[in-house]
Chains A and B, each alone.
Chain A
Amino acid sequence: MKPPLFDYEAPSTVEDAARLLAEGGEDAKLLAGGQSLIPLLNLRFAAPSLLIDLNGVDGLGQIRAEDGQLRLGALVRHSTVAGDPLVADRHPLLSEAMGYVAHPQIRNRGTIGGTTAHADPAAEVPVVLLMSDARVVARSTRGRREIGVDDLFVSIFTTSLEPDEIISEVIIPDRAVEPGTAVGSSFQEFARRHGDYAIGGAAAIVHLGPDGVCRSARVGLLGAGMRPEESRAAAAVLESGTFSERAAREAAAVATTDISPLGNVHGDPDYRREVIREMTFRAVMTAADKAKARIA
């Protein structure tokens, strides 16, 4: 249960980190909060030759609001996101989801860049980023590019980042709300113990008009397959008319017909599909209730 041998560097700028990563090749790994990577080292599931510690890199720890978007530095800790008033104001779904991410001690170290790069389909943050049309800024010695998270998340623990790229920021555009409509969001998850990885979960964002018609919706699924998933089909069911409990039930059924959750000791795929369906129903209902309360 001890990590294998590796070299260690602690650069203070993104440029130096990018240079070290480029020189280190495929065997070099970035270390952010370490809450996923160090367990993997201890269990010897990973054996990088070089660890590049991002914790001393300047300028990656801020949350800023500008030009209709929220910019979160890659090193912003989960506990900071959870308590940040700007996040709560603009992206309450992200604040709510943070409450389900691991335990207090882990949230004090884990980072938004780390959970995004780790791309665990059972993790909370990637699903919310997907539903929020977020992008990441990827930096390397070759330059800088932005990648939409839908293109970033490829498969389980796999992103479209090149081996020499560092996520420096996560950018979430402000949510557009049509005048006269109201929006509500909700995150729902079931786990054996609060804070553990979910057996299944779902999130919803629902926009309602004063007439009760659902103007637009987003439905995200946690642990539903090989990557964070969004169900356009479920959203289409909701968008087809006036919001009702029946529509929510149908959306939850549609969202989960074609998913393939991975089975494990906590539940086989069929059980997990049922859990995700129920969580979807609850998320949609709760999101709609919040929107209604805002119209009233």
Chain B
Amino acid sequence: MKREIELEVNGDRYQRAVEPRMLLSDFIRHELRLTGTHVGCEHGVCGACTVLFDGEPVRSCVMLAVQADGHSVRTVESLAQGGQLNRLQRAFNECHGLQCGFCTPGFLMTLQPVVDEGKQLSDDEIRDAISGNICRCTGYQQIVEAVSQALAEPQEDERAGTA
């Protein structure tokens, strides 16, 4: 039996009827057509599907869409503003923090709260922060460099409009 859910995604309100077994990742991709959220392993191991749930990074493939009823979700589509990449995305671009890009949305959504917090991190601490994300291309080094660069840049007001 389908259930009515109402939630906020990237600042917009949505109402949908979903089967309880629908994964949050499938809801985001198939119902809302926000295909920036990628699905790799679909059992919680790779981190590609990471989104912010009430502001905290979670794996959307091991949550049900019905569990998002009344909550807020942020996906990678919320990061760029007016066609401008944000600081973290720019750093990934400039440091070659991606090759095929499959893992990138998961890395970005894992790291955005880290960058928002603004604390300077050592390379070890950065590696710890991304320990739950798998990348098959870069070898991680450039991703670590991208995070250092994003953290080193002065804060800018890039969170506006993405409550």
Which A residues lie at the B interface, using CB under 8 A?
A: 1-8, 10, 34-35, 38-39, 41-43, 51, 53, 55, 79, 102-106, 108-109, 193-195
B140 → A minimal CB distance (Å): 11
Within 8 A of A (CB), among B1-33: 1, 3, 19-21, 23, 26
- The answer to whether A104 touches B20, judged by C-beta atoms less than 8 angstroms apart, is no
> What are the interface flags for B98-129 relative to A under an 8 Å C-beta threshold, 1 for contact and 0 otherwise?
00000000000010000000000000000011
Task: Determine chain B's interface SS by DSSP, over half rule.
Answer: mixed
- The answer to whether B66 touches A10, judged by C-beta atoms less than 8 angstroms apart, is yes
One of B51-59, B84-92, B148-156 at the interface: B51-59
B156 → A minimal CB distance (Å): 24
B44's partner among A2, A6, A38 (CB-CB below 8 A) is: A38
- The answer to whether A1 touches B42, judged by C-beta atoms less than 8 angstroms apart, is yes
Task: Output the residue of B19, B23, B61, B64 with the most chain A CB within 10 A.
Answer: B64
- The answer to whether B62 touches A42, judged by C-beta atoms less than 8 angstroms apart, is yes
- The answer to whether B21 touches A104, judged by C-beta atoms less than 8 angstroms apart, is no
Bound CA span A109–B63, Å: 9
B67's partner among A5, A55, A106, A193 (CB-CB below 8 A) is: A55
Give every chain A residue within 8 A of B63 (Cβ-Cβ). 34, 38, 109
Give every chain A residue within 8 A of B56 (Cβ-Cβ). 79, 108
Task: Output the residue of B20, B23, B47 with the most chain A CB within 10 A.
Answer: B20
- The answer to whether A39 touches B131, judged by C-beta atoms less than 8 angstroms apart, is no
Q: Give 4 closest A-B pairs by Cβ, nearest first.
A: A103-B132, A8-B20, A1-B42, A39-B43
Q: Are A195 and B132 also in contact (CB < 8 A) when A6-B20, A38-B63 are?
A: yes
- The answer to whether A105 touches B67, judged by C-beta atoms less than 8 angstroms apart, is no
- The answer to whether A42 touches B43, judged by C-beta atoms less than 8 angstroms apart, is yes
Q: Are A194 and B43 also in contact (CB < 8 A) when A8-B64, A34-B62, A108-B58 are?
A: no
Bound CA span A39–B53, Å: 18
Q: Which residue of B lies closest to A4 (CB)?
A: B21
Give every chain A residue within 8 A of B37 (Cβ-Cβ). none
B59's partner among A3, A6, A7, A105 (CB-CB below 8 A) is: A105
Bound CA span A128–B23, Å: 33
Give every chain A residue within 8 A of B61 (Cβ-Cβ). 38, 42
Give every chain B residue within 8 A of A104 (Cβ-Cβ). 57, 110, 129, 131-132
Q: Which residue of A lies closest to B60 (CB)?
A: A105
Is B75 at the interface (CB under 8 A from chain A)?
no
Give every chain B residue within 8 A of A108 (Cβ-Cβ). 53, 56-58
